[in-house]
Amino acid sequence: MLSRRSAQLAYRLLTSTSTYRPALQPRLPVQQSGRLISHSTVDPAEVRKFQALASKWWDERGEFGALHAMNDLRVPFIRDNLLSVHSARQMGSPLSGLRVLDVGCGGGLLTEPLARLGADVLGIDPVQDSVRIAELHLSHDPALCGRVRYRACSLEELADEDEQEEEGFHAVVASEVLEHLADLETFIQCCHHVLKPGGSLFVTTINRTQMSYILGIIAAEQVLRIVPRGTHDWEKFISPVELETLLESTGFSVECIRGMLYNPVSGAWSWQQSTAINYALHALKRREEPQSDRVESESEDEAASRSTA
């Protein structure tokens, strides 16, 4: 039985003609409580959701099984795109010498593989319990201990402190994060801030389409239980076009976008042409100021954002 809210959403879905929203606004009002420091990108309701699941992170056949499987796509995606910008320093450690920030690292599912490839990784997550699980899992592996650090904080806190850091990161990874945020624009700005010029931003997230509602919410959460119920809020999903626009206007140039598909029968992910459900995106922080008239032979969005800058 569909709840009333779902029914409303479904109605809107069926009558909507396009998924493009020209103007972006923060999706939820910024919540500030006495106990939390104001980090407006973090949604406390989301924090509570993940707190409850903290101990399940490393069970490959548990609630986070699909995320474990997603490493088969996102690790090569990050690795290959970074290698095309920075050539490999050492065989066996293709990412050695690179500093990577894993935002919303959770239990460290993506942090550890990146560190195994030689990168120095800082994993941050606002959920204290997740960070503790991540640190515990890490502690058994001496080879990784030297290359991974975890912190329970938000990206904004890190960006604020960053004034003291001389260098930025070579790459920022925000995988399965954007769809859980309270304030996307600020988040993207913080990503821009902590990156070195020419640094890479990697995003994997979910598109806001009819397909993603049917497969991502109804099928995945309610019917097949691939992700726990309530994990995702369809309203927060963002389309690649919107994301690209936002990124381009914040000083990024989007290098590539690829669609991803999850097969619940085999439990495996694969690349696909269509970005209707899940997709991955790679963007570079432009070396000049965002408002420069850098000549690019690309889309009209580029021209549009340039002219409005």
Partner 1 sequence: ELLRLQRQRLGSAWPVRGQTEGEPLDVYDIVISGGGMVGTAMACSLGFDPHLQGRKILLLEAGPKKQMDKAPEVFSTRVSSISPGSATLLSGLGAWDHIVKLRCKPYQKMQVWDACSDALITFDKENLQDEMAYVVENDVIVAALTKQLQTLSDQVEVQYRTRVVKYTWPRPYQVADSIPWVQVTLASGQTLQTKLLIGADGPNSMVRREAGIPTVKWNYDQSAVVAVLHLSEPTENNVAWQRFLPTGPIAMLPLSDTESSLVWSTSHQHAELLLQMDEESFVDAINSAFWSNENQSELVEAAGSLFRTALTILMPNGTSTRQLPPSVAGIGPKSRVMFPLGMGHASEYIRHRVALIGDAAHRVHPLAGQGANLGFGDVASLTQVLSQAAFNGKDLGKSMQHLLEYETDRQRHNLPMMAAIDLMKRLYSTNAAPMVLLRTLGLQATNALPPIKEQIIAYASK
In the complex, which residues of this chain contact partner 1 (CB under 8 A)? 58-60, 71-72, 75-76, 79, 90-94, 112-118, 136-137, 139-143, 145
Question: Dihedral, CA atoms, 55, 61, 66, 67, nearest 10 degrees?
Answer: 40
For the bound state, the minimum distance from the C-beta of residue 243 to partner 1, rounded and expressed in Å, comes to 26
* C-beta of 89 vs 225, nearer to partner 1: 89
For the bound state, the minimum distance from the C-beta of residue 90 to partner 1, rounded and expressed in Å, comes to 7
* C-beta of 94 vs 240, nearer to partner 1: 94
At 188, which amino acid appears?
A: I
- For the chain, strand residue ranges (E) read 99-103, 120-124, 148-151, 169-175, 195-206, 252-263, 268-272, 278-285
How far, in Å, CA of 262 to CA of 215, rounded?
Answer: 10
Cβ atoms of residues 180 and 236 within 8 Å? yes
Instruction: Give which of 180, 184, 151 is closest to 23, Cα–Cα.
Output: 184
Pairing type for strands 148-151 and 120-124 reads parallel
Q: Which helix (H) or strand (E) holds 138?
A: helix 128-139
For the bound state, the minimum distance from the C-beta of residue 171 to partner 1, rounded and expressed in Å, comes to 14
* C-beta of 138 vs 246, nearer to partner 1: 138
* C-beta of 71 vs 189, nearer to partner 1: 71
* C-beta of 53 vs 159, nearer to partner 1: 53
Q: Which helix (H) or strand (E) holds 68?
A: helix 65-85
For the bound state, the minimum distance from the C-beta of residue 117 to partner 1, rounded and expressed in Å, comes to 5
End-to-end CA distance of the chain: 48
* C-beta of 40 vs 93, nearer to partner 1: 93
The phi, psi pair for 75, rounded to 5°, reads -65, -50
* C-beta of 139 vs 210, nearer to partner 1: 139
For the bound state, the minimum distance from the C-beta of residue 107 to partner 1, rounded and expressed in Å, comes to 10
Instruction: Classify the C-alpha dihedral 103-109-114-118 as positive or negative.
Output: positive
For the bound state, the minimum distance from the C-beta of residue 167 to partner 1, rounded and expressed in Å, comes to 23
At 219, which amino acid appears?
A: A
